[in-house]
């Protein structure tokens, strides 16, 4: 039995969203890839630029792993740095591919970047600082203020990123 001309093929499959606007499979995929690209880029920037450059190297408040020798601490910083730049570049390669295929929703991407920064910061602050205890933000001080600012700003970044993503999703549906 052959396919009728009224049936969409796998590439052109369309779906009606909650607001009644028809989105194609490719548009949904591009939107997801845009969010993934921005999220990875944001996580990488938070890891490599903010955490590593400012707190590890600039202020020298901590290293990625502070429970051993200074040499081990520096080695783990190097591995952490390589991982941070890997995910940053991965996000940029995804962005280049999205752009090559037809365009980037920059507001959506920016929202995902902010969400990625906050997500990394929250993961680091809760998992590494509190649960695993492999390092603290700073040593020799009362940590309550530092933890409150670190985790509070992470949650704030995540909320802002999610709000921007929600607004861009709503504006796409309104078209």
CB atoms within 10 A of CB 3: 8
Residue 66's pLDDT is 87
- Cα–Cα distance measured from residue 109 to residue 170, given in angstroms and rounded to the nearest whole number: 15
Residue 169's pLDDT is 82
Report the candidate in 31, 57, 134, 44 with the shortest Cα–Cα distance to residue 86: 44
- Per-residue pLDDT, averaged over 28-37, amounts to 90
- Cα–Cα distance measured from residue 158 to residue 104, given in angstroms and rounded to the nearest whole number: 21
CB atoms within 10 A of CB 162: 15
Residue 56 has pLDDT above 90, yes or no: no
Give 91-97's long-range contacts (Cβ < 8 A, gap of 24+): 91/36, 91/37, 91/38, 91/39, 91/40, 91/41, 91/42, 91/43, 91/44, 91/116, 92/37, 92/41, 94/33, 94/36, 94/37, 94/40, 95/34, 95/37, 95/38, 95/41, 97/33
Residue 19's pLDDT is 47
Residue 6's pLDDT is 34
CB atoms within 10 A of CB 152: 12
- Per-residue pLDDT, averaged over 56-82, amounts to 90
- Per-residue pLDDT, averaged over 151-170, amounts to 94
Residue 3's pLDDT is 38
Q: What is the per-residue pLDDT across 100-154, written as a single tens digit (0 to 9) for each?
A: 988 899 999 999 999 999 999 999 999 999 999 998 888 999 999 999 999 999 9
Listed range (6-15, 40-49, 52-61) with the worst mean pLDDT: 6-15
Average pLDDT of the residues of the chain: 84
- Per-residue pLDDT, averaged over 147-171, amounts to 93
- Cα–Cα distance measured from residue 56 to residue 68, given in angstroms and rounded to the nearest whole number: 15
Residue 170's pLDDT is 66
Residue 29 has pLDDT above 90, yes or no: no
Residue 11's pLDDT is 42
Listed in sequence order, the residues at least 6 apart from 5 whose beta carbon sits closer than 8 Å to its beta carbon are none
């Amino acid at each position: 039995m052959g396919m009728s001309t009224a049936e969409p093929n796998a590439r052109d499959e369309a779906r009606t969203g909650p607001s009644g606007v028809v989105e194609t499979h490719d548009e949904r995929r591009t939107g997801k890839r845009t969010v993934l690209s921005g999220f990875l880029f944001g996580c990488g920037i938070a890891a490599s630029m903010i955490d590593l450059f400012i707190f590890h190297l600039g202020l020298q408040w901590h290293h990625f792993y502070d429970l051993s020798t200074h040499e081990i601490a520096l080695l783990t910083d190097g591995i952490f740095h390589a991982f941070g730049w890997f995910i940053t570049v991965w996000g940029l390669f995804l962005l280049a591919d999205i752009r090559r295929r037809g365009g980037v929703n920059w507001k959506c991407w920016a929202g995902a970047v902010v969400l990625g920064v906050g997500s990394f910061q929250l993961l680091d602050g809760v998992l590494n600082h509190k649960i695993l205890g492999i390092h603290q933000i700073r040593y020799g001080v009362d940590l309550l203020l530092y933890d409150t600012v670190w985790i509070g700003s992470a949650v704030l970044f995540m909320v802002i990123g999610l709000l921007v993503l929600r607004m861009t999703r709503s504006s796409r549906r309104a078209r």
